[in-house]
Structure 1
Amino acid sequence: MPTEAYLGYCKQNIATFLGEVKEVLFVPYAGVTFSYDDYAKSVADALSPLGIKVTGIHTVEDKQKAVAEAASIMVGGGNTFELLHQLYENGLVDLINEKVSKGTPYIGWSAGSNMACPTIKTTNDMPITMPKSFDALNLIPFQINPHYTEERIPNHGGETRPLRIEEFLTKNTDMAVLGLPEGCMLEIHGKSMKYIGGHAGKLFINAKENKTIDENSDLSYLLG
């Protein structure tokens, strides 16, 4: 968040979610204009006061083994298309899905939250690379639109975020989209899901129907 240290507002949420887990396998593949080493160091520096050790997956020779043995998996933000491309290139998409489905904690922000969805079709990013597929980790049965806002730049003729989501839902009629504003998150344990944050979210049920999501709302029903 602006004016705050990196991961400042959510560090305690991360620590609480991980509980006794103190080791994180960090996936920096969404980083494009900065090095993976710098990215991993930023995350490690932010979490070290909590006693959490961060290992960048890019530093590990056998990446599939690293996922299989990970105590927790964390995926950072950046470019969603590049992130998914690298996950496919390294044969990690199905492995992460399987690992998390068995109970391994997963934490993602921005592109990392897009990655938890069935597809990356509701990302805000430019397709700078072409992944093998738009199919993502499929950890949740609905789509997230991170950094959600309804603001419109004066004299700007481009589509608003709600209109972009309406376009998606017009062509993908079986999928709901949750607009997740800055500083807000979803905490999921099994079949329980809670909306956390100081700003209201927006749940797009279909192209013509949506509703406001208030802080601490129980959204477990979205998990099916």
Structure 2
Amino acid sequence: MAYQKRTKHEVAQRVARDLPDGAYVNLGIGQPTLVANYIPTDIEIVFHSENGILGMGPAPDEGSEDYDLINAGKQPVTLLPGGAYFHHADSFAMMRGGHLDICVLGAFQVSATGDLANWHTGDPNAIPAVGGAMDLAIGAKQTWVMMDLLDKKGESKIVKQCSYPLTAQSCVKRIYSDLATLECTPEGLVLIDSVVGLSGSEIEALLGLPVKH
């Protein structure tokens, strides 16, 4: 059976569906920022940005942007009632002190046991910048990753062992991708769900790794 990939917005909706009511959540730069647009109206999620914001809302409507109110990726954001601004150092104290329930990050590679590589590929033309990712990855109670399952060459971004420099070890709990949602455990990968038409055995073939399903 043919299958259709999830769009970035559909992946963001899938992540939003799993966020527990009342959670404090950091959204990383890139795809993860879309999650704030899909929070169900019957729950409260407090979004944190490492540049010093708590209580971010969805992206502003076009024409309503305030560029004095931006997230860590310099994108304009909104602030919900009760939201707050504070010093960068206080923000990192929250991250490092275990006060965030979940961080959602992008990744270049994730190992089957949850190692994360998301700051450098070794490309000599790239500018490596780990930013606050290492603080988030080990400081948050759970680290979730949003990414495409395969890279531009069609190779799996989930690997037995990361070949890129690590951001943190054994930190990733879940991977939300365009083809499947997976859990990382000390024993390896567990399939949570996949797009219609893509079986567990086919996911194993794409990854080249065993997947419990």
Question: TM tier, shorter chain?
Answer: 0.3 to 0.5
- The one of the two structures with greater contact order (alpha-carbon pairs below 8 A, sep at least 6) is 2
Answer 1 or 2: which has greater strand percent. Answer: 2
